[in-house]
Amino acid sequence: EYKGMSKERMMEIRRQNCNPVTMKITYYKKPVFIHQGHMQWLWDVDGKRYLDLFAGVATVSLGHCHPKVTAATQRQLKRLWHTTNIYVHPTLHEYCEKLASYLPDPLKVIYLTNSGSEANDLAMLMARLHTGNFDMITFRGSYHGGTQQTMGLTSNSPYKYPVATSLGCTNTMNPDVFRGPWGGSHCRDSPVQTIRDCDCAQGHCMANDQYIGQLKETFATSVPSQIAGFFAEPIQGMGGAVQYPKNYLKEAYKLVRERGGICISDEVQTGFGRTGSHFWGFQGHDVVPDMVTMAKGIGNGFPIGAVVTTPEIAASFGKAFHFNTFGGSPVACAVASSVLDTIKEDGTQQNSLNVGTYLMTELAKLRDKYEIIGDVRGKGLQIGVEMVKDKASRDPLPPEAMSEIFEHVKDMGVLIGKGGLYGQTFRIQPPMCITKEDVDFFLAVFNKAVHGYMDRK
């Protein structure tokens, strides 16, 4: 039973002492006051239980207060919290060896940070130092961080401030096979395809050619002939689970490397088994990046991030002293190490594949039933449901309508996320321990919310 501070008092403090922007985004019209969590469940201060299908933005990868991770954290908390890495402590070494074993050669050198923005900021710096070039390319609609440097990589205007964000960042066309100008029913690697007819000729993806053509145009128009790097999320997160044509990243990587650039896979949301078929999202695109950045799910909600790269790139980064007080602290390493063990022991990746595929297949039936569900996509438990005014126009469902459905789903006890450039995509990125029963409950709730909205309209 909750006996803490009242809701009114919390809101008062929020008004007086908290980042004022957070007042605007309590996410719901009637905010959710969370007090406790266990696995896929959250309880508010009134004791109401929610099924959490957003996991604090794909972060609580294994479950709230997962008993195995909690136990590992407690063991470390009693032993050693911190020394700064000027000394050698075993936890960091055990973890780095373990994490490296999950990555293909030559990705073996690890830099530990405290967040995804910090990891991407570092990756950018390393790419520039290694290549001797300056320009970075990312997709429109991507999110790679909120620091002044990474804000240039991020391409989503609500997250951009009117200051000189990182120079040398160019955002190229998003190869979005649902909302973009090209795309069709065989383009992407998902159990559910788009509703658009495919332009493919004899198994050749015409949409891919078009989007790659746009990237080539960016090379021709917007950057010097030599670039520093290219960042891509294997499936966009904040962008709303946007997926690219199957061969896009493979071809893009080749073009980037021809121009002296290095390829960076931002696995902040897609890593650690979330896409189900693979441990890392890039593996689903059949590419090996030069650098992988990670955060969120790496620590099941504990702050830790990482950049993993090759010995050659790491060597180019040795000319000055890179220091990070908290990066790789004994506690963070113990948590992250336990996360890796738990993924194995709990069969988390397999569950993500099974439950995610089931969820998308069932959601596709709702898409066929309702005019306003335009697209269902994703892999494993990285899922997007894009809402439209109607299927013919594919115009985004307006924010008020999104909000009405979103709020109703919450009132019925399920928390999901929102994303996309126009806030038009519901995001489902739960703790990966969810079951088919949880999915059935969500489907009933979502069906009811969409049905209710259509009835009122």
Tell me if 372 sits within 8 A of 386, measured CB to CB: no
Residue 404 and residue 209: Cα distance in Å, rounded?
39
Closer to ligand PMP by Cβ: residue 238 or 308: 238
Closer to ligand PMP by Cβ: residue 120 or 170: 120
Q: Name the one residue in this structure whose structure tokens are 């009405």.
A: 404
Tell whether the torsion through CA atoms of 403, 404, 410 and 411 is positive or negative: positive
Instruction: Name the minimum Å distance from CB 232 to ligand PMP.
Output: 10
Instruction: Name the minimum Å distance from CB 268 to ligand PMP.
Output: 4
Closer to ligand PMP by Cβ: residue 212 or 268: 268
SS3 379: strand
Instruction: Name the minimum Å distance from CB 166 to ligand PMP.
Output: 14
Closer to ligand PMP by Cβ: residue 59 or 193: 59
> Which residue stretch of 64-72, 160-168, 233-241, 401-409 sits at the interface with ligand PMP (rule: CB under 6 A)?
233-241
Question: Could you say whether residue 237 binds ligand PMP (CB under 6 A)?
Answer: yes
Strands 136-139 and 229-232: parallel
Interface residue with ligand PMP among 96, 187, 205, 295 (CB under 6 A) is 295
Instruction: Name the minimum Å distance from CB 429 to ligand PMP.
Output: 10
Instruction: Name the minimum Å distance from CB 181 to ligand PMP.
Output: 24
DSSP 103: S
Instruction: Name the minimum Å distance from CB 54 to ligand PMP.
Output: 12
Q: Catalogue the E-assigned strands of 196-319.
A: 229-232, 262-266, 291-294, 305-309
Interface residue with ligand PMP among 10, 39, 57, 412 (CB under 6 A) is 57
Q: Which helix H or strand E contains 448, and what residues bound it? A: helix 436-456
Rounded (10°) angle between helices 330-346 and 348-369: 70
Closer to ligand PMP by Cβ: residue 227 or 295: 295
Closer to ligand PMP by Cβ: residue 52 or 438: 52
Tell me if 56 sits within 8 A of 305, measured CB to CB: no
Angle, alpha carbons 54-24-236 (nearest 5°)? 40
Instruction: Name the minimum Å distance from CB 2 to ligand PMP.
Output: 28
Residue 296 and residue 344: Cα distance in Å, rounded?
18
For residue 102, give the amino acid letter: Y
Residues 113-172 that bind ligand PMP (CB under 6 A): 115-117, 120, 143-145
Tell me if 262 sits within 8 A of 256, measured CB to CB: yes
Which residue minimizes CB distance to ligand PMP? 116
Spatial CA neighbour of 384 closest among 422, 345, 339, 429:
429
For residue 227, give the amino acid letter: I
Instruction: Name the minimum Å distance from CB 412 to ligand PMP.
Output: 26
Spatial CA neighbour of 90 closest among 80, 103, 100, 99:
80
Q: Residues 246-285 vs ligand PMP: string with x where CB under 6 A?
A: --------------------x-xx----------------
Instruction: Name the minimum Å distance from CB 87 to ligand PMP.
Output: 26
Closer to ligand PMP by Cβ: residue 144 or 259: 144
**Bridge partner list, 34:** 44
Question: Could you say whether residue 238 binds ligand PMP (CB under 6 A)?
Answer: yes
* Residues of the shown chain interacting with ligand PMP in the complex, contacts defined by CB under 6 A: 57, 115-117, 120, 143-145, 233, 237-238, 266, 268-269, 295
